[in-house]
Amino acid sequence: MTQATSGATKPSYTSAFLLGIRPRPLLSVSDWADQNRILSSKSSGSPGPWRTSRTPYLKEIMDCLSPSSPIERVVFMKGGQIGGTEAGLNWIGYSIHQAPVPFMLVQPTVETAKRVSRQRISGLVECSPALKSLVQPSRSRDSGNTLLSKEFPGGVLVITGASSAVGLRSMPVCNLFMDEIDGYEADVGGEGDPVDLALQRTTNFPNRKILLVSTPTIKGFSRIEAAYQESDRRRYWVPCPACEAMQVLMWAQIKIPEGQPHLAFYQCEHCAAAIQDYQKSWMLERGRWIAENLASPIAGFHLSSLYSPHGWASWGDIAVQHVQVCRDPVRLKVWINTKLGEVWEESAEKLDGEGLMQRRELFGPFLPAGVVVLTAGVDVHPDRLEAEIVGWGRDEESWSIKHVVIYGDPSGPAIWQDLDRLLATTFPHARQIDDLPIFAAAIDTGGANTMSAYDFCRERQDRRIWGIKGIGGMGKPLWPQRASRHNKGRIPLFVIGVDAAKESLYARLRIAAPGPGYCHFPKERDAEWFRQLTAEKIRTRYIRGRPIREWHKKDGDRNEALDCRVYALAALHGLMNMGFRLNAEAEWQEKYPLKEGLAAVSPSPPVDTPALASTPPSEPVAPKVQKPQWLSGRRTGWLERNR
């Protein structure tokens, strides 16, 4: 055998052959992890030797993945912060060290695959001595070991994204780990469902093992929920420390003391004893998985974050988060998916423009007291530009400040000059702070006059006037982590998930009371605008038997108001991606009093004064004060220079 420059040993053909024909090990995945896995400080809050006893509910899941288990497919529907991905990494480490085979790890996108490779796989290998000598680092000259491909004696680990049809069909594999499958695209490259494509890679291996892991999403469209329902449906039962009666931890048994959610405790459903978070360790150690559907050969596990070990996410932490999000359906959906590990059931309530018109309010000559930041969304058409300026407050409560239609030819300069003047407008605020500018704008470049839109945005990057392009489909993030420059204009182009934005907006349009997520509209907004805002509906279409959610409007209906609001929301999330924190800024702003003569004490009730004019007042207003905190911080100091 020869020694590689990295220190890893490269076996000869004879030794590789002997490794391939050796008997399957009796060691289980959980035993291997206890003996060999070292957690990296880069990816774990508790670095050091792995201890299955810390998360005893993972033992049975991992051992079902051992070669000695007859189970072929394992499904894990879970909440957050319970160690699900770490169990899959233990399986990868076990396979490299004990049972080498072709192995594929699939993440939602190629970008997340690269990130997982750098942060998780590298840490798994580098920190575990049993693996470090078997896998050469990606910096090695050996082309067999790259960021997305790790060769080891007797096998190879391929890491790919569900968005890459080429990656999914690249090679046959024996072991397949598909992580966060509810975040996968519905149809990849026109070749079908990525889960089905990946499963086809395992058909040639009679000893194959498959692990599907994810937090669930929407009822009826969640891949992991459908897979769990087909399984034997195991749930983890734990004893009460007082009466020792077995039970499944449920949110209904979490009790929250009045005004003190951080002191939440669990009430036994049998003896009503108050169980404290520190007692979870005793309960988890004595728990066991019990299946409901013994006829299924698939091992399915469901676990919520209520089982998160003491010292991780406590019952008090989960209760505090619930109190923060319970009035906002958008954030409540995330909480239910990630904390309870359950699907979200959407409201069947019909949304129409006429109902929203009844909620119109009289805005005053000043921005409402609750407005913290202004963003704009601009829709481009062959004969006009349409824009909405939106004010955002605490918990994304919103005010539609202004809707403008600028007529003209977008292929010429005049209409863009008018838009530039609009986006340079500042608005006097009800509080004694500086007039607010439009902090960010998202300009649609995917419609008419794309090159003109590119040119406009290119010259105004320092004002956070961004070129965007909408893309449909479940799992697409509302705002991307980074911009793309693969466009004819060579500008930073942000591809936004319009489906995520529309779902967020429609959920909040259904909120009936001012507060988190509520949408305020001015009295002068007409019926046609509201019809456009609610012009699209969700419908279900089936592709190769799989239900696909898509937004649809009737032929002839207009949806410009909806598009403008989607783009304004995207611009807000663009600011958040830069480090802007809406609620923190709201807390800073609320310290400043209202201007003299304004009696409003809350950001929610409308001010009973004349409606906002088509152009903001030019008269001097209240004294100016220092700029908001987020503009002067180190991460965003350049914003202060360009305000």
pLDDT at 611 over 50: no
Which residues does residue 159 pair with via DSSP β-bridges, in sequence order? 105
- Contact in structure between 532 and 562 (CB atoms under 8 Å): yes
Residue 642: what pLDDT? Answer: 41
Return the higher-pLDDT residue of 637 and 347: 347
Residue 138: what pLDDT? Answer: 64
Which helix (DSSP H) or strand (DSSP E) does residue 497 occupy? strand 493-497
In order of 125, 191, 541, 627, the CA distances from 587 in angstroms are 44, 49, 44, 14
- Cβ atoms < 10 Å from Cβ of 599: 8
Query: Do 77 and 225 fall within a single domain?
Result: yes
Which residues does residue 150 pair with via DSSP β-bridges, in sequence order? 157
What are the pLDDT digits (tens) for 356-365?
999 999 998 9
Return the higher-pLDDT residue of 570 and 599: 570
What are the pLDDT digits (tens) for 384-420?
999 999 999 999 999 999 999 999 999 999 999 999 9
Give the number of residues written for the chain: 643
Q: Which of 26-40, 290-304, 481-495 has the highest mean pLDDT?
A: 290-304
Confidence of residue 625 (pLDDT cuts 50, 70, 90): very low
Which helix (DSSP H) or strand (DSSP E) does residue 633 occupy? none
User: 569: exposed, middle or buried (C-beta count within 10 Å: 0-12, 13-18, 19+)?
Assistant: buried
In order of 30, 33, 72, 150, the CA distances from 69 in angstroms are 13, 17, 8, 26
DSSP letter at 181 equals G
- Contact in structure between 87 and 57 (CB atoms under 8 Å): no
In a domain, 596, yes or no: yes
608 phi, psi to nearest 5 deg: -80, 75
pLDDT at 209 over 80: yes
In a domain, 137, yes or no: yes
- Contact in structure between 124 and 40 (CB atoms under 8 Å): yes
Residue 22: what pLDDT? Answer: 61
SS3 638: helix
pLDDT at 303 over 60: yes
Residue 637: what pLDDT? Answer: 33
What are the pLDDT digits (tens) for 320-352?
999 999 999 999 999 999 999 999 988 766 788
- Cβ atoms < 10 Å from Cβ of 479: 22
**413-423 vs 450-458: helix axis angle to the nearest 10?**
40
Query: Do 321 and 432 fall within a single domain?
Result: no
pLDDT at 539 over 60: yes
Query: Do 335 and 229 fall within a single domain?
Result: no
In a domain, 312, yes or no: no
279 CB-near residues (< 8 Å, 6+ apart): 241, 310
To the nearest whole percent, how much of the chain has pLDDT over 90?
67
- Contact in structure between 71 and 64 (CB atoms under 8 Å): yes
* Straight-line distance from the first to the last Cα atom of the chain, in angstroms, rounded to the nearest whole number: 64
- Contact in structure between 345 and 219 (CB atoms under 8 Å): yes
Which helix (DSSP H) or strand (DSSP E) does residue 537 occupy? strand 537-543
**Euclidean distance between CA atoms 639 and 630, whole angstroms:** 9
pLDDT at 626 over 60: no
State the chain's mean pLDDT as an integer: 86
Query: Do 141 and 210 fall within a single domain?
Result: yes
Report the alpha-carbon angle 201-203-205, nearest 5.
105
- Tokens for 91, please give them: 């399986």
Query: Do 192 and 241 fall within a single domain?
Result: no
In a domain, 69, yes or no: yes
Confidence of residue 504 (pLDDT cuts 50, 70, 90): very high
User: 592: exposed, middle or buried (C-beta count within 10 Å: 0-12, 13-18, 19+)?
Assistant: middle
In a domain, 218, yes or no: yes
pLDDT at 41 over 60: yes
**Euclidean distance between CA atoms 464 and 288, whole angstroms:** 54
In a domain, 353, yes or no: no
The label of the residue with tokens 């406590």 reads 314
Residue 14: what pLDDT? Answer: 67
Nearest alpha carbon to residue 173 among 193, 155, 189, 161: 155
Residue 421: what pLDDT? Answer: 96
In a domain, 120, yes or no: yes
Query: Do 337 and 422 fall within a single domain?
Result: no
**What's the whole-number mean pLDDT along residues 53-60?**
96
Confidence of residue 502 (pLDDT cuts 50, 70, 90): very high
Query: Do 98 and 245 fall within a single domain?
Result: no
pLDDT at 496 over 60: yes
**What's the whole-number mean pLDDT along residues 92-119?**
93
Confidence of residue 585 (pLDDT cuts 50, 70, 90): very high
- Cβ atoms < 10 Å from Cβ of 66: 22
- Contact in structure between 502 and 562 (CB atoms under 8 Å): yes
Nearest alpha carbon to residue 76 among 90, 87, 92: 87
- State which amino acid sits at residue 571: A
What are the pLDDT digits (tens) for 545-555?
777 888 888 88
pLDDT at 633 over 90: no
Tell me the pTM: 0.82
**Euclidean distance between CA atoms 148 and 170, whole angstroms:** 12
Confidence of residue 69 (pLDDT cuts 50, 70, 90): very high
Which residues does residue 475 pair with via DSSP β-bridges, in sequence order? none
**What's the whole-number mean pLDDT along residues 556-578?**
95
Residue 47: what pLDDT? Answer: 84
Query: Do 225 and 257 fall within a single domain?
Result: no
**Euclidean distance between CA atoms 219 and 221, whole angstroms:** 6
* Domains of the chain: total: 3
Residue 346: what pLDDT? Answer: 81
pLDDT at 86 over 90: yes
**Euclidean distance between CA atoms 28 and 68, whole angstroms:** 8
Residue 549: what pLDDT? Answer: 83
CATH number at residue 426: 3.30.420
Return the higher-pLDDT residue of 94 and 636: 94
**What's the whole-number mean pLDDT along residues 514-525?**
95
Query: Do 373 and 468 fall within a single domain?
Result: yes
Report the alpha-carbon angle 221-55-150, nearest 5.
70
DSSP letter at 241 equals T
pLDDT at 490 over 80: yes
Query: Do 381 and 523 fall within a single domain?
Result: yes
In order of 221, 501, 548, the CA distances from 474 in angstroms are 9, 11, 8
Q: Which domain holds residue 181?
A: 2-233+294-303
Query: Do 202 and 247 fall within a single domain?
Result: no
pLDDT at 283 over 50: yes
pLDDT at 615 over 50: no
pLDDT at 226 over 90: yes
Least confident of 68-77, 597-606, 616-625: 616-625
Confidence of residue 12 (pLDDT cuts 50, 70, 90): low
- State which amino acid sits at residue 236: Y
Which residues does residue 375 pair with via DSSP β-bridges, in sequence order? 390, 440
**What's the whole-number mean pLDDT along residues 439-461?**
91
**What's the whole-number mean pLDDT along residues 22-34?**
82
CATH number at residue 49: 3.40.50.300
Residue 169: what pLDDT? Answer: 78
- Contact in structure between 390 and 427 (CB atoms under 8 Å): no
**Euclidean distance between CA atoms 366 and 374, whole angstroms:** 13
**Euclidean distance between CA atoms 579 and 426, whole angstroms:** 22
pLDDT at 613 over 60: no
In a domain, 610, yes or no: no
**What's the whole-number mean pLDDT along residues 488-506?**
91
**What's the whole-number mean pLDDT along residues 441-458?**
90
pLDDT at 636 over 60: no
Residue 180: what pLDDT? Answer: 95
pLDDT at 632 over 50: no
Residue 17: what pLDDT? Answer: 60
Query: Do 390 and 331 fall within a single domain?
Result: no
Least confident of 87-101, 193-207, 374-388, 558-572: 193-207
Which residues does residue 426 pair with via DSSP β-bridges, in sequence order? 437
